[in-house]
Structure 1
Amino acid sequence: MTDNNNLDDKIDLAPVVLDQCSIGLFVLGADGRIVNWNRWMVTASGIGVASALGRLLADLLPEVSGSTLEQAIDAAGSQGDSTVLHAASGTAVLPLPRRAAGGAHQMVIVKPLLAKSHHVLVQVFDQGDLPGEASLPPRMAEQPGAKSGAELATLSILSAIADAVITTDLHRNISYMNVVAEKLTGWRLTAAMGLPLARVFQVMDEGAALLHGAIERCLATGTLAGGQRQELILVHRDGIGIAVEASLAPICDEQKNIHGVVLVFRDVSHARSLAAQVSWQASHDTLTGLVNRGSFDDRLDDLLRDAMATGRIHGMLYLDLDQFKIVNDTCGHVAGDELLRQIATRLSQHIRTGDTLARLGGDEFGVLLVDCSEAVVLRIANKMRQAIMDLRFAWDDKAYAIGVSIGVVAITAESERAEQVLSAADTACYAAKDGGRNQVHVYRPDAGEAAQRQGEMHWVARIHSALEEDRFCLYVQPIVPIDQRSAHTGHCEVLIRMRDEAGALVPPNKFIPAAERFGLMPRIDRWVVNQLFNLIGREHETLVLGGYCFAINLSGGSVNDEDTLTYIGEKLVEFRIPPGMISFEITETAAIANLASASYFIRTLKQAGCLFSLDDFGSGLSSFAYLKNLPVDFLKIDGAFIRDLATDPIDRAMVQAINQIGQVMGLKTIAEFVENDQVLGLLRGIGVDFAQGYGIARPMPLTDQAGRLLLGK
Structure 2
Amino acid sequence: MSKILIIEESSTLRHVLLKILTDSEFEVDIEVKFEDGLRCLESTNGKAYSAVIIGWPNITLASADDLLSLLCDKKYQNIALLALSHETEAAKIAWASSRPKTGFLLWSNYGEIVQSVRNLMSNHTLTVPVIVNNELEPIRILLVDDSPTARVKFRRLLVKNGYRTDAVSSPEEALKKVKSTQYDIAIIDYFMPVMTGDELCQRFQDDIYTSSIVCAILTSAYADKVITDSLQAGAVECMFKNESDNLFLARVSALSRNVQNTKQINQEHKRLNGILSSVGDGVFGINNNNEINFINPTALNILGYADGEHLIGKKPHEVFHTKVSQQGNEKISAKKLYKNITKKTQKLALETYFIRFDGNQTQVELTIFPLQIEGKTEGAVIAFRDISERKLLEEELMWQVNHDPLTKMFNRKYFEDALEEEVRRLKRSNDESALLYIDLDRFKYINDTAGHATGDQLLIELGHMMNQRLRESDLLARIGGDEFAVIMRNIDKNSITEAVEKFQSLLSGYEFSYKGREYKIHASIGVAMINKGSASPGEVLSNSDIACYVAKTNGRDQVHVYDAVQDEKAAMDLDLGWSTRLQNAMEDDNFELHFQPILLLSDIHIKDLPNKNGELWNTLLKSKAIQSPFYEVLIRLPDSNNSIIAPGAFLPTAERFNLMPSIDRWVINDALRQLSILVKSYPNAQISINLSGQTFDNDEIVEDIQQNIEHYKLNPSSIIFEITESSAIYNIESAQRLIKELTWYGCKFALDDFGSGYCSFSHLKNLPVDYIKIDGMFIQELLHDSMDLAIIKSITEISHALGKKTVAEFVENAEVLQKLKECGVDYVQGYYIAPPKALNLIENDNK
TM-score, with structure 2 as normaliser? 0.42
